[in-house]
Structure 1
Amino acid sequence: MDPLQLAHDFFRSRRRDSWVPGYLAGRGFPEHVQRRFELGYAPPHWRTVVELLRSRGLSDDRIVETGLVRRSRHGRLYDHFRDRVMFPIRDPYGRIAGFIGRTADDVGGPRYLNCPDTERFHKGALLYTLPTARPARPVLVEGPLDALAVRLTGVPAAAPCGTRLTAEQAAMLGDDVLVAMDGDPAGRRGAVQAWEHLASLPGRIGAVVLPAGRDPADLLRDGGLDAVRLALRAEIPLADLVTDAAIDRHHLRFVEGQIAAARAAAHVIARMRPDQVARQVARTAQRLGFAPADVTAYVVESLAGM
């Protein structure tokens, strides 16, 4: 008996009698989608999963090792997930490795909650992914609802488990990736940080710039699948965002700030693939009012210092 699979079956069985179906349907994920992607619900009680696993003969130590249950400072066991939509995370072998739980919108505390690291669940080594009938270029998003929204357009989607993208996760995505993070400063930072591990991939690494404060799940709720498809078609190179972020960290009103921005951008450009350099040199020169040759000189200077 796999206790994580047992818990997954239990969460799925509790979904229909909870607030989850109505909430998700209102976000654009009707009942058949919820069933298809095996979403569940963790009841609000403190010891439901504890008693479920005890009833199957698991020791308290083994129960805690699943990551589904925590031990209080007084030694009592309690459920880690309570009153949350449950998204199953699978390992490369297809086994349940852990879960992401999401609260309702009007509940305080952390919106998303992961399993703690366990023997099977390592959040930096797993992605929340959804099966697709055909191999295609994956879209990297921020959270599981965003992954669902993108997946409903027919393309693969993946979300980190509440952490920055790691090298191990990037290697799971393949050679070509589209990044579609939330359209707020934090989302843009996440896209730029993803570049650290995606830059070495040999394929096309693109990005979509979503409206401020909007994510793919918001677009689905307000505009349906057509709104998500339209956003995903507005692709630019992720390198554009990375270069712009280097420039935007400086005050551009004065010449000194413009020079500092050019040098910062050049330092980023110097680490890009050769086929990306010319575009970024031209964009930097245009933004700052420099001659492309001057920006190129800063790039050469950065290369010499590496």
Structure 2
Amino acid sequence: MSASILPSDPQLTRMPLTRMQGRAELGFVHVDGTDRLARLYQRAPLRVLFPDPPQDEPPHAALVTTSGGLAGGDVLELSVHAGPAAGAVLVGSAAEKVYRSTGPDTCIDVSLTVDAGAALEYLPQETILFDGARLRRTTRIAAAAGARLLAGEILVFGRTARGERLTHGLIREAWEIRQDGRLIWADALHLQDDLRAVLDAAAGFAGAVAAASMVVLAADPIALRDQARALHADYPGRFGAGLINGVLVARWLDGDAQRLRAAFGETWKHVRHAALGRPARLPRLWDI
């Protein structure tokens, strides 16, 4: 007679957990005056949908995590290549949830390649970190001279709508931008174990429940910086924008996640118009 495995049975703790390894690869080309999808590979739970873009927009690709969230040990890999003069917009279909981990890290690797004359937007929605989540995310950008890029991320520290506060876990958020093979900007945020101490510290996150970053490669970064600063003249949260080796880097901290999202989106609309010549609006999915 076989023995049943009850929740308290030590056999249960030794059973390997099922981990997900999702991957998506996209390539865009500009042919006969039109931007087109040239390559698509996808493996669950990372899927890509292609909503019809407005007539004055390049192709839109919507990223979907079909599992409904990520747990410890899960891996997502995204690779996007915008060929010479090609345009594309990548947008998250919904907020990404990273659940509490029993030990392993959740890993997200993003690789964006933008060739000469290309213009790429990478606009995920918020990443919501449940208490105890362990996230390692790396975004690597390889751009040619003359390429234009608008990319960003938003982190929410806990399920704020339920009053949850992020107290422990791991946050590793790293960025790297290379232009024609030369490293021009790199940055990494690393918080581990007692997260509350840093999130509450006046010299840290000062009690913020959300943080965001935006990076821009464009022809006139000084004008874009000044425009971004002017948009936040009356912003009650914390905002800063500066230039490093021609890269515009903008950052937000706020005690209100919805207010940060609104400020981030408003900035995105104006910057995309000034930097990429696209209409000052957000994709329909993101603007819901």
Instruction: Check whether TM > 0.5.
Output: no
Give me the TM-score of the superposition, normalised by structure 2: 0.28
Structure whose residues are more often helix by fraction:
1
Tell me which structure has the larger Cα radius of gyration. Answer: 1
Higher relative contact order (CA 8 A, sep 6+): 2
TM superposition score normalised by structure 1: 0.27
Structure with bigger strand share is 2
